[in-house]
Structure 1
Amino acid sequence: MSVRSLAVLGFGAAVGGAVARRVAAAGQVDPQYRSAALLLPDVQLVRPMAALFRRVRPRPTAIADGVVATDRLVRARDGRGIRVWVYEAATDGAPVPAVLHVHGGGYVMGDPVASHARCSAIAAELGVRVVSVDYRLAPEHPFPAAIDDCVDVLAWMHASADAEGVDAARIAVVGDSAGGGLGACTAQAGFDLGLPVAFQALVYPMLDDRTRRRVDDRGRYAWPASSNRFAWDAYLAGAPGTSPYAAAARRADLAGLPPAWIGVGSLDLLHAEDLAYASRLRAAGVPVEVVEVPGAYHAFETLRPDAPGSQTFEHLLREALRAGLGLGAS
């Protein structure tokens, strides 16, 4: 047999072995969350996806019945306009609690319209106002652009509370993935700057830039270590992770921060950092509820929104916000 034939056979065996290992590993995923997309190799996809995002905007998800969604501009500290989506259901005219929503996308992509369904469901079921911020994205706008936008919108929510019919004492923040990391940093900045956040709901948040140097059995699906490294590198662009509000897990003193809810799948690359942050919050005296979803990967409820576990997860998120904002039982 020729060297070339041996090489071809060796390559085929290697590929076949990789596929077999991938299929076997997929057995860890709860069947309700499984997808053919999970069999894709562990390659860094966020760079091409981010490039595509700049050419093709995401499809808006459905807005819940009875909710009005309005596209508005909020004035930033430097005079720029920050685009936000505001979701409101019918109320009796009394001031209502509010939720600052921060979308995911690894700091390099994402758009509030992809979160219409989540934001409008929160507004409809809880009777609150939801403000979703269209923050600037890396690498064109690295740190601190995104967190500055989030904090500026939080400051606007406080400053305009009376005029907008918002109860400024009951403003929560919710975010997923990079949005969860930004949400956690926004809660930290709010505490420091006198812009209090009453509650923080963090959905598989990106909290620790040091995770970009870690590789383990988690993170095989949807958000592998290679994508995580690219995202953090693009966002920080050389700035140290210890910079204030760059990476939430880097903050030394967590005392005084608002109560938190953290939800993450057991197969998520971010699982360890999320549980570590929850543990540190508890040690600092901050009430924390953690929801671990067995057999779930990063953004599982986005890929499989109709799965019973995904719907339960969304329900638990809304109920956590309900309790955190002091609203009556459903």
Structure 2
Amino acid sequence: MTEYRLDEEFAQAIVQLPSEFMNMAEPPANDVHALREVINFQYTEMGKLAPPAPDGVNREDVSIPVGDGVTLEARWYTKWDARPGSAVVYAHGGGQVAGTLDHYDRRMRVYVTETSVPILSVGYRVAPEGKGQQLSEDVFAGVLWLNEHADRLGIDRARIAVMGDSGGGGLAAAAAVLGRDRGIPIAQQILIYAMLDDTVDTASEALAPFLAWTAPMNATSWNARSGGPVSETTSPARLIDARGLAAAYVEVGDLDLMRDESIAYAMKLSAADVPLELHVHPGTPHAYEWLDENAGVTQRSLENRYRVLRSL
């Protein structure tokens, strides 16, 4: 019987991680604050493994009003004076309960450096402070902000994409649905090991030893977000009619809890004639580019993402 195997470069990278990183106990079920502490600690430690942030990227801190007196923080990244006309709204990872704009600052700078495509990184309200569809609406508010300021920023409103990884990937998918339903053009949805299905609370025994993001952690996150009815704009896997959605780039590793839901969502898009590019990378766990940015599979994945961004 063929067994799962961790990519050798990732196996070597894991050995280099601090002992306190590797020996962290999994948070108790439904203790969302403990889970947030773990995630944010991991982001901080993995961020220390990354090369320095590239030069030549400007950052403008902006505020996005979303009603009820609430204003979101966001960051607008541009490469010097490059104005390709396209733009991206990015939703950071963190299981929809953690992660910050600071954690993703370097990553945004790398994307902009490599592609010249400007990015709006949105500080959406994470659960449990944010509930239900509110998180998706926060990310979509970034799309509306770019539309409102398109002339000043030199953006073609028909060339705005949504992108996110992990929890943010699910929110990017939901924002694409909101855009379709509200008549706001979305040029592309770029979904990186996206958190799409609120019903996933188990994993196979064979896959379990490799999971950086486990089924209990997933359940804790979805439970923290619960508030009001669950729909396709909170859990995109519940989408019934995918016709008319933006073209999709879907990427996931085969050692990821999100693997099956990513493939299922991609197949749903394909069946509705949504243009699709799907990658399932063998030997790769959740958030693998944070683990080893120089690994061969990471470099191939990043080049694919850069190519899609440049094509906007």
Matches within 5 A, 1:165-314: 165-213=154-202, 215-220=204-209, 221-237=211-227, 239-241=228-230, 243-314=231-302
In structure 2, do the counterparts of structure 1 residues 263 and 53 end up closer, same or farther at CA, with 3 Å as the change threshold?
A: closer
Q: 1-side partners of 2:202 and 2:283: how far apart?
A: 24
Shift of 1:54: 7.9
- 1:33 maps to 2:3: no
Q: 1-side partners of 2:196 and 2:302: how far apart?
A: 21
Would you say the 8 A contact 2:202–2:216 is kept in 1?
no
Aligned to 2:86, the other structure's residue is in SS state: strand
Unaligned runs of 5+ in 2: none
Would you say the 8 A contact 1:255–1:286 is kept in 2?
yes
Q: Which amino acid aligns with 1:33?
A: F
Q: Which amino acid aligns with 2:72?
A: I
Q: Which amino acid aligns with 1:32?
A: E
Q: Which region of structure 1 is more displaced relative to structure 2, 268-277 or 47-56?
A: 47-56
In structure 2, do the counterparts of structure 1 residues 75 and 131 end up closer, same or farther at CA, with 3 Å as the change threshold?
A: same
Q: 2-side partners of 1:58 and 1:40: how far apart?
A: 16
Aligned to 1:257, the other structure's residue is in SS state: coil
Partner deviation per Cα, 1:124-181 (whole Å, 9 max, x = no partner): 2222210000111111222222112111111111111112221111001110000000
Flag the structure with more relative contact order, 1 or 2, with Cα contacts below 8 A and sequence separation at least 6: 2
Paired residues in the alignment total: 296
Q: 2-side partners of 1:42 and 1:116: how far apart?
A: 28
Q: 2-side partners of 1:283 and 1:244: how far apart?
A: 17
Q: Which amino acid aligns with 1:50?
A: R
- 1:114 maps to 2:103: yes
Residue 129 of structure 1 corresponds to which residue in structure 2? Answer: 118
Task: Give the TM-score normalised by the residue count of structure 1.
Answer: 0.82
- Aligned mate of 2:70, from 80, 83, 91: 80
Residue 130 of structure 2 corresponds to which residue in structure 1? Answer: 141
Residue 16 of structure 1 corresponds to which residue in structure 2? Answer: none
Q: Which amino acid aligns with 2:158?
A: A
Q: Which region of structure 1 is more displaced relative to structure 2, 195-204 or 29-38?
A: 29-38
Would you say the 8 A contact 1:212–1:232 is kept in 2?
no
In structure 2, do the counterparts of structure 1 residues 89 and 167 end up closer, same or farther at CA, with 3 Å as the change threshold?
A: same
Task: Give the TM-score normalised by the residue count of structure 2.
Answer: 0.86
In structure 2, do the counterparts of structure 1 residues 148 and 216 end up closer, same or farther at CA, with 3 Å as the change threshold?
A: farther
Shift of 1:246: 0.8
Give the alignment's Cα RMSD to 1 decimal.
2.6
Shift of 1:117: 2.7
Would you say the 8 A contact 2:131–2:225 is kept in 1?
yes
Shift of 1:103: 0.3
- Aligned mate of 1:68, from 58, 83, 96: 58
Shift of 1:313: 1.3
Residue 50 of structure 1 corresponds to which residue in structure 2? Answer: 36
Residue 309 of structure 2 corresponds to which residue in structure 1? Answer: 321
